Structure 1
């Protein structure tokens, strides 16, 4: 056994949660209060952790705590430990309620809006004793959750690093421009080249979103910089900002319904990258029959839906 593991195995979840709270709040007193510990007892626990690790976990700046590299590493794994315990509790509760197991699904906003919601509805009907724990994240964080073991199944937009994952394409979407009515590009419906819109102010998603990364890459290829004015986490908020004439946006075609419902104008993008693949993935080498069942269900459901669309 690694000697470090021996040292750390002496500590309980109270110490782990205390350190996590210290990092999140930057204050030992606030963390102690959340853990229902007296301040001297909390201080002793942090010092004991530092002795076990053999390194300082925090830099003391007056009453503020700043995590050191060792502290940030402990924090990252500590969060994972606490989440695993919470999931354990949830699964045990589910077993008591008659739900046999839980599958952790991390999905991007684009995937949820495009086709995943009805798939999850049908999966719940067909497998009522399997509970899907869903977390919505940007595509970059979906992949990170898979690699770190915090998700059993991930659904995200292409363009992420997928080494170490078993990946399958299951659907696609098409990006469109979104303009306020009366905008200089809103009077035609012919496809518009991305380069023509680079003089505009843009509204897009938060950092880590596959779409924002694609926009930055496309602007760089044109020798330009994307004039990003505002960032948000939802299609709805983005459309409201476009309606307020704060900038233009680009959205998946399925979200265009929201835009049109608000009186905004959608116009096709001329570039081939307007078509994006949606991917479903699990960690390579991890055998989880319920996760595999969900992946297969997503792929089969999408295949049937595609056949129906082509038959119309």
Structure 2
């Protein structure tokens, strides 16, 4: 059998309202037209779908089954229309978001998840950049938003907003070399085997820049590309790691200690492009603030 979608939609409304009159009103149909459609649907089905009573109608068992499946068909049709429409709508250029290693770990994914769900018409291009490079891209209008470190963005003329604390800590396996220590300097940390990020990672570059030429050279047992992998290795006892506190998951498997070095205290800033922000850019900025909060 072939069903007309408008007939199915009318029938669902009639069942929901308990009245052909009310169902017709929701479909902007006259009562005679709606009644004729329902009778035609029953004729096509070959079984009564409604029980007519003085105060309205109620579905027969067959009508209840038809209404349930009709709702599913109509929902699938709506999703189909939306999916096809996404290809016919005029596509705007992707927004460009730049950020460092720390923000890429949790902040950026959380912000993108909520933004992209709410705005299916917009896409976002994301790249990991060190703060100086991010500021150049924003100044040149090649990026729309950037998440940067406060100590490196202090002299910029671009508009910035405080996002969140991004201080660094040292982590190691629970009960290991950090047990009994209240805090450590980086020099203390470097006396032990470590795990770290590659030299081209934004966070690694930021740390190396602040250590200076006379800082102790750590023994990295291995270098891994993500903070998640770094934390996993530190949890397993492979070596100590210096990571943002915000990236460390709660739990008993890690010892976490603050660093005494002044450079370990830092914050994330949201930095705006030199160009006038669009409505989409403002919306993405709002979702970044929500994720940071």
Normalised-by-shorter TM-score class: 0.5 to 0.7
Kindly provide the CA deviation profile for residues 132-182 of structure 1, in whole angstroms up to 9, marking residues without a partner as x. 233344545544543555422222333436646333222222322111344
Q: After superposition, where does 1:27-66 map in structure 2 within 5 Å?
A: none
Contact map agreement 2:101 2:201 (CA 8 A) in 1? no
Q: Structure 1 regions of 5+ residues with no counterpart?
A: 1-92, 306-312
- Following the alignment from structure 1 to structure 2, what is the Cα–Cα distance between the partners of residues 225 and 267? 19
Residue 266 of structure 1: how far off its partner (Å):
2.0
Tell me the SS of whatever aligns to 1:165. coil
Residue 250 of structure 1: how far off its partner (Å):
0.8
Matched residue, 2:126: 134
Greater relative contact order: 1 or 2 (C-alpha under 8 angstroms, separation 6 or more)?
Answer: 2
Matched residue, 1:156: 148
- Following the alignment from structure 1 to structure 2, what is the Cα–Cα distance between the partners of residues 194 and 243? 19
Matched residue, 1:269: 259
- Following the alignment from structure 1 to structure 2, what is the Cα–Cα distance between the partners of residues 231 and 141? 23
Residue 143 to residue 205, structure 1, CA distance change in 2 (3 Å): farther
User: How large is the RMSD of aligned CA atoms in angstroms?
Assistant: 3.5
Kindly name which structure, 1 or 2, has the bigger radius of gyration based on alpha carbons.
Answer: 2
2:269 aligned with 1:279: yes
Contact map agreement 1:111 1:157 (CA 8 A) in 2? no
- Following the alignment from structure 1 to structure 2, what is the Cα–Cα distance between the partners of residues 144 and 232? 27
- Following the alignment from structure 1 to structure 2, what is the Cα–Cα distance between the partners of residues 215 and 102? 31
- Following the alignment from structure 2 to structure 1, what is the Cα–Cα distance between the partners of residues 127 and 89? 22
Matched residue, 2:247: 255
Matched residue, 2:168: 175
Q: TM-score, with normalisation over the residues of structure 1?
A: 0.53
Tell me the SS of whatever aligns to 1:247. coil
Kindly provide the CA deviation profile for residues 8-59 of structure 1, in whole angstroms up to 9, marking residues without a partner as x. xxxxxxxxxxxxxxxxxxxxxxxxxxxxxxxxxxxxxxxxxxxxxxxxxxxx
Match of 1:198 among 186, 190, 203: 190
Match of 2:282 among 271, 286, 293: 293
Q: Structure 2 regions of 5+ residues with no counterpart?
A: 1-84
Residue 255 of structure 1: how far off its partner (Å):
2.1
Tell me the SS of whatever aligns to 1:225. coil
Kindly provide the CA deviation profile for residues 234-284 of structure 1, in whole angstroms up to 9, marking residues without a partner as x. 0122134435654321111122218x57x3322222344333211222332
Residue 217 of structure 1: how far off its partner (Å):
4.5
Contact map agreement 1:105 1:153 (CA 8 A) in 2? yes
Residue 149 to residue 249, structure 1, CA distance change in 2 (3 Å): same
Matched residue, 2:79: none
Q: Which one has the bigger helix percentage?
A: 1
Q: TM-score, with normalisation over the residues of structure 2?
A: 0.56
Tell me the SS of whatever aligns to 2:246. helix
Matched residue, 2:218: 227
The count of aligned residue pairs is 207
Contact map agreement 2:98 2:134 (CA 8 A) in 1? yes
